[in-house]
């Protein structure tokens, strides 16, 4: 083990005394060189996604010290870029272990630096934080969350004054400030209660939350002449996160009263006892909700992740069996519903725009084009969708944005926030479901109509974990090997390779490779920006689902051999 790692470990043993959990862990790992190395071999990465990592002791972990250091860097950035009267930061947090503690620590750092803090009085979703930043005219915002990661993780998303997650440029500037700091000696702090008492820290009023809910309800696609039976039977799970209050309030105020909440997953719980991986993309996380759906013979199942920016759904098929829909499928359904309703209501703007990520299903572009909607493709990460919304509004096209989505279950139907919003999405999904149900059409039937009209397309995601220092090095090596040139994947000839690290199509440089294969197939490979994973996106165009699944299986099998 490198002597500098051992030296830093010893320094933490002497100075990391603010959290008793850290003291205990530092003693526990004293004789474990691998654990010490993993905890101290690097600083926890800070980027456009902020911080995210395993909770624990060390420079490569989420703890009160790494949170405080990042907060000091953000404070220094705000002080340099905003005049004193505009120095205000909004703070929110989810149900994860230590989220409230980390929110208090960050707030204390901001307050100690003379920055006004506005913090929610209770846990609130990521979209509520994005909304508050603009509603309260803040210079920045932070959301303490690790989104859909397992319970051992926590994180820290940073938002700019536009309510969007920070850009690459802002992240680089903040990281420069962070790197100047000694984690123990250069961070200003203030006790949270002192900040409240002196007015340096204020609570965000309930009026902001109410305005957020009202804004979502205002963007309904229903006209006065549409009569719906909103008594559809809905099962909802917040997966022990932040969604319970905002989702239930929005739906019930909109007339959806027949809602049963999954009791075991209703209350906030950072240990996620019935869904160890609280990600609605994972069928395991949806399993208990599926049981409830079967028990209550429900029409629709909804589940939101812990910070309530993603939503997964399940509906009944023709055999009354429940089927989970993918993020791409829900995205296409919502896109078609919004476009068709806007046309019907004569509410399509002059230059309507769909914004989606490069890894989201290409079929969405064909749907958009059919309605005269322009598509903007961006890099993976909803922050790039939010950024494009801001650019449209800067050009005076304030109403042009009509929908944005990414395949990882993130959707947005209006510009009230600049991030994916599962409260808005749950509202729109229920409305869409009830609208089609009134016509005797199920969502699966509607999806099949789209496939018949635009051709069948299958998109899948495969993730490969690479933990620790060794795993990080292996990921970099794999990316290098793919850049060396691949002639075929799964028997499909590679027509071209798009290397986004070169800054293609005016997009920011990003470590992403997209292989365009023959027969309108493609493979995208990228390291996750928030987890120690390589992610592989496979897109297959084929005559039908069986043919597509067969081709996808061949490609996936070959890639599996390259990543193990």
Catalytic residues, which ones? 147
Task: Give the residues across from 237 on adjacent strands.
Answer: 303
Long-range contact list for 201-206, CB < 8 A, 24+ apart? Answer: 201/107, 201/108, 201/111, 201/117, 201/119, 202/116, 202/117, 202/118, 202/119, 203/118, 203/119, 203/120, 203/121, 204/90, 204/118, 204/119, 204/120, 204/121, 204/132, 204/136
Which is nearest to 69 in space by CA: 162, 4, 156, 195?
A: 156
CA pair distance 454, 103, nearest whole angstrom:
47
Do 64 and 19 touch, CB atoms closer than 8 A?
yes
**Residue in 184, 208, 200 with CA at minimum distance from that of residue 64:** 184
Show the tokens assigned to 316.
Answer: 């009944």
Cα(419)–Cα(415) distance, integer angstroms: 9
Strand order, beta sheet including 513-517: 456-465, 533-542, 521-527, 513-517, 492-499, 488-489
Residues whose CB is less than 8 angstroms from the CB of residue 29 and which lie 6 or more positions away in sequence, other chains included: 35, 36, 39, 57
Structure tokens at 479: 């990316």
Question: If DSSP codes are grouped into helix, strand and coil, which group holds residue 168?
Answer: helix
Count of C-beta atoms within a 10 Å radius of residue 196? 17
555-to-236, 464, 561 alpha-carbon distances in Å = 35, 15, 10
Residue 399: closest CA among 416, 383, 387: 416
State both tokens at 138: 């803040």
Contact yes or no for 234/431 (Cβ under 8 A): no
Q: Parallel, antiparallel, or unpaired: how do β-strands 401-406 and 374-378 relate?
A: unpaired
* E strand or H helix at 106: helix 99-112
SS3 assignment, position 524: strand
Q: How does 103-129 read in b/e, with b if 16+ C-beta sit within 10 Å?
A: bbbbbbbbbbbebbbbbbeebbbbbbb
> Locate tokens 């989810």: which residue?
94
Q: CB within 8 A of 410, min separation 6: which ones?
A: 309, 310, 327, 382, 420, 422, 425
3-state secondary structure of 154: strand
Strand order in the sheet with 234-237: 259-261, 234-237, 300-304, 311-316, 322-325
Q: Are 531 and 52 in contact (CB under 8 A)?
A: yes
């Amino acid at each position: 083990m490198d002597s500098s790692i051992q030296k830093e470990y010893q320094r933490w043993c002497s100075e990391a005394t603010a959290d008793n959990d850290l003291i205990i862990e530092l003693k526990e790992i004293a004789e474990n060189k691998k654990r010490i190395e993993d905890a101290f071999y690097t600083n926890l990465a800070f980027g456009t996604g902020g911080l995210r990592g395993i909770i624990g002791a060390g420079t490569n972990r989420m703890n009160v010290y790494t949170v405080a250091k990042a907060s000091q860097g953000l404070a220094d950035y705000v002080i340099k870029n905003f005049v004193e009267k505009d120095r205000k930061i909004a703070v929110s947090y989810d149900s994860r272990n230590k989220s409230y503690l980390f929110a208090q620590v960050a707030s204390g750092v901001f307050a100690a630096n003379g920055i006004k803090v506005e913090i929610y009085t209770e846990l609130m979703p990521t979209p509520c934080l994005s909304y508050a930043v603009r509603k309260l005219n803040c210079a920045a915002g932070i959301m303490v969350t690790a989104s859909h990661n397992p319970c051992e993780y926590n994180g820290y998303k940073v938002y700019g004054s536009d309510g969007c997650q920070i850009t690459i440029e802002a992240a680089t500037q903040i990281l420069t400030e962070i790197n100047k700091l000694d984690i123990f000696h250069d961070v200003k702090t203030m006790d949270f209660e002192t900040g409240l008492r002196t007015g340096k820290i204020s609570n965000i009023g309930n009026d902001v939350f109410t305005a957020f809910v009202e804004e979502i309800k205002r963007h309904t696609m229903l006209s006065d002449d549409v009569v719906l039976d909103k008594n559809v039977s809905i099962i909802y799970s917040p997966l022990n996160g932040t969604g319970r209050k905002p989702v239930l309030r929005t739906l019930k105020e909109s007339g959806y009263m027949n809602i049963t909440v999954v009791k075991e997953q209703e209350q906030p719980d950072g240990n996620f006892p019935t869904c160890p991986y609280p990600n609605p993309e994972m069928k395991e996380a949806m399993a208990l909700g599926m049981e409830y759906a079967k028990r209550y013979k429900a029409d629709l199942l909804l589940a939101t992740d812990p910070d309530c920016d993603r939503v997964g759904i399940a509906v009944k098929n023709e055999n009354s069996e429940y089927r989970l829909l993918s993020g791409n499928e829900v995205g296409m359904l919502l896109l078609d519903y919004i476009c068709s309703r806007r046309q019907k209501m004569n509410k399509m703007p002059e230059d309507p725009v769909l914004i989606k990520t490069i890894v989201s299903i290409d079929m969405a572009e064909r749907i958009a084009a059919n309605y005269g909607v322009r598509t903007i493709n961006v890099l993976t990460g909803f922050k790039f969708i939010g950024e494009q919304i801001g650019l449209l509004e800067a050009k005076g096209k304030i109403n042009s944005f009509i929908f944005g989505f990414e395949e990882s279950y993130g959707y947005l139907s209006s510009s009230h926030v600049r991030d994916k919003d599962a409260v808005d999405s749950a509202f729109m999904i229920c409305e869409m479901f009830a609208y089609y149900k009134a016509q005797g059409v199920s969502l699966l039937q509607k999806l099949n109509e789209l496939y018949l009209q635009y051709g069948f397309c299958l998109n899948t995601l495969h993730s490969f974990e690479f933990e620790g220092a060794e795993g990080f090095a292996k990921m970099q090596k794999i990316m290098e090997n793919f850049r060396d040139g691949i002639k075929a994947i799964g028997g499909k000839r590679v027509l071209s390779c798009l290397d986004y690290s070169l800054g293609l199509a005016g997009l920011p440089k990003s470590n992403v490779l997209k292989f365009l294969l023959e027969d309108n197939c493609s493979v995208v490979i990228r390291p996750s920006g928030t987890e120690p994973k390589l992610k592989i996106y496979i897109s297959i165009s084929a005559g039908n689902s069986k043919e597509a699944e067969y081709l996808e299986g061949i490609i996936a099998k070959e890639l599996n051999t390259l990543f193990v």
